[in-house]
Chain A
Amino acid sequence: GEDVEQSLFLSVREGDSSVINCTYTDSSSTYLYWYKQEPGAGLQLLTYIFSNMDMKQDQRLTVLLNKKDKHLSLRIADTQTGDSAIYFCAENYTGNQFYFGTGTSLTVIP
Protein backbone atom coordinates (compact mmCIF):
# COMPACT_ATOMS: atom_id res chain seq x y z
CA GLY A 1 0.00 0.00 0.00
CA GLU A 2 2.97 2.36 -0.05
CA ASP A 3 3.04 3.19 -3.78
CA VAL A 4 0.78 6.16 -4.32
CA GLU A 5 1.65 7.87 -7.59
CA GLN A 6 0.85 11.26 -9.03
CA SER A 7 2.20 13.35 -11.86
CA LEU A 8 4.43 16.11 -10.56
CA PHE A 9 3.16 19.17 -12.44
CA LEU A 10 -0.04 20.53 -13.95
CA SER A 11 -0.72 23.94 -15.51
CA VAL A 12 -4.17 25.27 -16.35
CA ARG A 13 -5.65 28.61 -17.36
CA GLU A 14 -7.81 30.50 -14.91
CA GLY A 15 -11.45 29.53 -15.34
CA ASP A 16 -10.68 26.12 -16.83
CA SER A 17 -11.15 22.82 -15.01
CA SER A 18 -8.19 21.04 -13.42
CA VAL A 19 -7.99 17.29 -13.09
CA ILE A 20 -5.37 15.82 -10.79
CA ASN A 21 -4.88 12.06 -10.95
CA CYS A 22 -3.60 9.52 -8.47
CA THR A 23 -3.07 5.78 -8.54
CA TYR A 24 -2.76 3.67 -5.44
CA THR A 25 -1.97 0.02 -4.85
CA ASP A 26 -3.88 -1.16 -1.79
CA SER A 27 -7.50 -2.05 -2.47
CA SER A 28 -8.24 -2.42 1.25
CA SER A 29 -7.97 1.33 1.91
CA THR A 30 -11.02 2.55 3.78
CA TYR A 31 -10.69 6.24 2.99
CA LEU A 32 -8.85 8.15 0.30
CA TYR A 33 -8.00 11.79 0.74
CA TRP A 34 -6.97 14.92 -1.07
CA TYR A 35 -4.79 17.43 0.74
CA LYS A 36 -3.73 20.90 -0.38
CA GLN A 37 -0.43 22.53 0.53
CA GLU A 38 0.01 26.22 -0.08
CA PRO A 39 3.53 27.67 -0.26
CA GLY A 40 5.35 27.54 3.07
CA ALA A 41 2.46 25.86 4.86
CA GLY A 42 1.47 22.44 6.12
CA LEU A 43 -1.09 20.20 4.47
CA GLN A 44 -4.77 20.99 4.73
CA LEU A 45 -7.46 18.35 4.24
CA LEU A 46 -9.52 19.30 1.20
CA THR A 47 -11.86 16.37 0.89
CA TYR A 48 -12.07 12.62 1.31
CA ILE A 49 -14.04 9.75 -0.16
CA PHE A 50 -15.10 6.56 1.52
CA SER A 51 -14.03 3.45 -0.36
CA ASN A 52 -17.57 2.28 -1.12
CA MET A 53 -18.35 5.48 -3.04
CA ASP A 54 -17.68 6.25 -6.70
CA MET A 55 -18.03 9.99 -6.59
CA LYS A 56 -18.22 12.83 -4.14
CA GLN A 57 -18.96 16.45 -4.96
CA ASP A 58 -18.24 19.40 -2.72
CA GLN A 59 -18.81 22.81 -4.32
CA ARG A 60 -16.11 23.19 -7.01
CA LEU A 61 -14.46 19.89 -6.08
CA THR A 62 -15.40 16.50 -7.53
CA VAL A 63 -13.65 13.33 -6.42
CA LEU A 64 -13.92 10.22 -8.59
CA LEU A 65 -12.87 6.80 -7.37
CA ASN A 66 -12.36 3.81 -9.65
CA LYS A 67 -11.61 0.92 -7.31
CA LYS A 68 -11.15 -1.58 -10.11
CA ASP A 69 -8.27 0.44 -11.57
CA LYS A 70 -7.19 1.85 -8.17
CA HIS A 71 -7.49 5.34 -9.60
CA LEU A 72 -8.50 8.49 -7.76
CA SER A 73 -9.00 11.91 -9.32
CA LEU A 74 -9.74 15.41 -8.12
CA ARG A 75 -11.50 17.81 -10.45
CA ILE A 76 -11.49 21.51 -9.62
CA ALA A 77 -14.08 23.45 -11.60
CA ASP A 78 -13.51 27.09 -12.57
CA THR A 79 -9.92 27.02 -11.32
CA GLN A 80 -8.75 30.23 -9.67
CA THR A 81 -5.27 31.60 -8.99
CA GLY A 82 -5.83 30.82 -5.30
CA ASP A 83 -5.99 27.14 -6.23
CA SER A 84 -2.29 27.19 -7.12
CA ALA A 85 -0.73 24.77 -4.64
CA ILE A 86 0.60 21.25 -4.28
CA TYR A 87 -2.10 18.59 -4.07
CA PHE A 88 -1.48 15.26 -2.37
CA CYS A 89 -3.60 12.16 -2.48
CA ALA A 90 -3.38 9.75 0.44
CA GLU A 91 -4.72 6.36 1.46
CA ASN A 92 -5.05 4.84 4.93
CA TYR A 93 -5.03 1.10 4.50
CA THR A 94 -3.88 0.36 8.07
CA GLY A 95 -6.49 2.59 9.67
CA ASN A 96 -4.17 4.88 11.57
CA GLN A 97 -1.33 5.26 9.11
CA PHE A 98 -1.54 7.11 5.81
CA TYR A 99 0.52 6.86 2.67
CA PHE A 100 0.90 9.97 0.57
CA GLY A 101 1.56 10.46 -3.09
CA THR A 102 4.44 12.53 -4.39
CA GLY A 103 2.21 15.58 -4.80
CA THR A 104 1.08 17.45 -7.93
CA SER A 105 2.08 21.08 -8.22
CA LEU A 106 -0.81 22.97 -9.81
CA THR A 107 -0.05 26.29 -11.49
CA VAL A 108 -2.97 28.47 -12.52
CA ILE A 109 -2.15 30.89 -15.32
CA PRO A 110 -4.12 34.17 -15.22
Chain B
Amino acid sequence: DVKVTQSSRYLVKRTGEKVFLECVQDMDHENMFWYRQDPGLGLRLIYFSYDVKMKEKGDIPEGYSVSREKKERFSLILESASTNQTSMYLCASSAPGQGSYGYTFGSGTRLTVV
Protein backbone atom coordinates (compact mmCIF):
# COMPACT_ATOMS: atom_id res chain seq x y z
CA ASP B 1 0.00 0.00 0.00
CA VAL B 2 1.53 3.28 -1.10
CA LYS B 3 2.04 5.82 1.60
CA VAL B 4 2.88 9.36 2.50
CA THR B 5 3.82 9.47 6.16
CA GLN B 6 3.92 12.61 8.28
CA SER B 7 5.94 12.12 11.42
CA SER B 8 3.54 13.73 13.89
CA ARG B 9 -0.26 13.91 14.02
CA TYR B 10 -0.31 16.61 16.69
CA LEU B 11 2.33 19.12 17.77
CA VAL B 12 2.29 21.91 20.32
CA LYS B 13 5.13 24.42 20.12
CA ARG B 14 5.95 27.74 21.75
CA THR B 15 6.20 31.03 19.92
CA GLY B 16 9.71 31.55 18.58
CA GLU B 17 10.64 27.86 18.47
CA LYS B 18 12.11 26.31 15.34
CA VAL B 19 9.75 23.60 14.15
CA PHE B 20 10.43 20.73 11.77
CA LEU B 21 7.60 18.88 10.04
CA GLU B 22 8.75 15.72 8.31
CA CYS B 23 7.17 13.94 5.35
CA VAL B 24 8.31 10.67 3.80
CA GLN B 25 6.86 8.89 0.77
CA ASP B 26 7.58 5.36 -0.42
CA MET B 27 6.30 5.68 -3.98
CA ASP B 28 9.49 7.02 -5.62
CA HIS B 29 7.56 10.18 -6.55
CA GLU B 30 9.49 13.12 -7.94
CA ASN B 31 6.99 15.76 -6.83
CA MET B 32 6.30 16.69 -3.24
CA PHE B 33 4.19 19.47 -1.76
CA TRP B 34 3.41 21.17 1.52
CA TYR B 35 -0.01 22.74 2.10
CA ARG B 36 -1.67 24.31 5.06
CA GLN B 37 -5.39 23.94 5.62
CA ASP B 38 -7.49 26.49 7.43
CA PRO B 39 -11.29 26.58 7.77
CA GLY B 40 -12.93 28.52 4.96
CA LEU B 41 -9.62 28.95 3.12
CA GLY B 42 -9.15 25.45 1.78
CA LEU B 43 -5.63 24.26 1.00
CA ARG B 44 -2.93 26.79 0.35
CA LEU B 45 0.38 25.80 -1.18
CA ILE B 46 3.44 26.70 0.88
CA TYR B 47 6.33 25.10 -1.01
CA PHE B 48 6.86 22.34 -3.51
CA SER B 49 9.70 20.35 -5.01
CA TYR B 50 10.03 18.54 -8.31
CA ASP B 51 13.41 16.95 -7.59
CA VAL B 52 16.03 16.40 -4.94
CA LYS B 53 17.58 19.66 -3.72
CA MET B 54 15.04 21.59 -5.74
CA LYS B 55 12.38 23.81 -4.16
CA GLU B 56 9.89 26.37 -5.35
CA LYS B 57 7.78 28.84 -3.43
CA GLY B 58 4.07 28.34 -3.45
CA ASP B 59 1.41 30.93 -2.67
CA ILE B 60 2.23 31.51 1.01
CA PRO B 61 5.94 30.81 1.65
CA GLU B 62 6.55 33.60 4.16
CA GLY B 63 7.77 32.28 7.50
CA TYR B 64 8.56 28.84 6.10
CA SER B 65 11.45 27.06 4.44
CA VAL B 66 11.90 23.51 3.13
CA SER B 67 14.57 20.90 2.65
CA ARG B 68 14.74 18.02 0.21
CA GLU B 69 18.04 16.21 0.59
CA LYS B 70 16.63 12.83 -0.44
CA LYS B 71 13.95 11.98 -2.95
CA GLU B 72 11.65 10.37 -0.43
CA ARG B 73 11.80 13.08 2.25
CA PHE B 74 10.48 16.64 2.18
CA SER B 75 10.76 18.69 5.35
CA LEU B 76 8.91 21.88 6.21
CA ILE B 77 10.68 24.25 8.60
CA LEU B 78 9.14 27.05 10.61
CA GLU B 79 12.17 29.17 11.45
CA SER B 80 10.47 31.01 14.32
CA ALA B 81 6.98 29.74 15.00
CA SER B 82 4.20 32.27 15.46
CA THR B 83 0.60 31.87 16.59
CA ASN B 84 -0.68 32.61 13.09
CA GLN B 85 1.04 29.43 11.92
CA THR B 86 -1.34 27.34 14.01
CA SER B 87 -2.93 25.16 11.35
CA MET B 88 -3.26 21.72 9.79
CA TYR B 89 -0.28 20.94 7.58
CA LEU B 90 -0.64 18.45 4.76
CA CYS B 91 2.12 16.85 2.73
CA ALA B 92 1.44 15.33 -0.69
CA SER B 93 3.37 13.63 -3.46
CA SER B 94 2.78 12.80 -7.10
CA ALA B 95 4.53 11.41 -10.14
CA PRO B 96 4.89 13.67 -13.18
CA GLY B 97 2.65 12.79 -16.08
CA GLN B 98 0.34 10.59 -14.03
CA GLY B 99 -2.50 13.04 -13.84
CA SER B 100 -5.17 10.44 -13.30
CA TYR B 101 -3.59 9.40 -10.00
CA GLY B 102 -3.70 12.88 -8.56
CA TYR B 103 -1.85 13.57 -5.36
CA THR B 104 -1.34 11.14 -2.50
CA PHE B 105 -1.70 12.90 0.83
CA GLY B 106 -0.36 12.21 4.27
CA SER B 107 -2.68 12.19 7.28
CA GLY B 108 -1.72 15.70 8.26
CA THR B 109 -0.02 17.35 11.23
CA ARG B 110 -2.12 19.63 13.41
CA LEU B 111 0.26 22.25 14.77
CA THR B 112 -0.66 24.54 17.63
CA VAL B 113 1.67 27.43 18.44
CA VAL B 114 1.15 28.90 21.90
Contacts and interface: CB of A to CB of B under 8 A. Distances in A.
Interface of A: 2, 4, 6, 8, 30-31, 33, 35, 40-45, 48, 50, 88, 90, 92, 95-98, 100-103
B106 A42 contact: yes
Interface of B: 4, 9, 31, 33, 35, 40-43, 45, 48, 50, 59, 90, 92, 94, 96-97, 99-108
B99 A30 contact: yes
The 6 nearest A-B residue pairs measured at CB: A42-B105, A102-B42, A100-B43, A31-B99, A43-B105, A45-B102
Contacts of A8: 40
Nearest to B109: A42
B44 to A, nearest CB: 8
Contacts of B9: 40
Contact of B59 (A2, A31, A88): A2
Given A42-B108, A88-B43, A102-B40, A96 B31 contact: yes
Contacts of A90: 102
Nearest to A41: B107
Contacts of A95: 96-97, 99
A96 B101 contact: no
A102 to B, nearest CB: 4
Greatest chain B CB density within 10 A among A4, A33, A97 is at A97
Nearest to A4: B42
Contacts of B96: 95-96
B90 A42 contact: yes
A103 B44 CA distance: 12
A19 to B, nearest CB: 19
A48 B102 contact: yes
Given A41-B107, A42-B105, A42-B108, A92 B42 contact: no
A41 B110 CA distance: 10
A77 to B, nearest CB: 22
A44 B105 contact: yes
Given A33-B102, A92-B99, A96-B94, A42 B42 contact: no
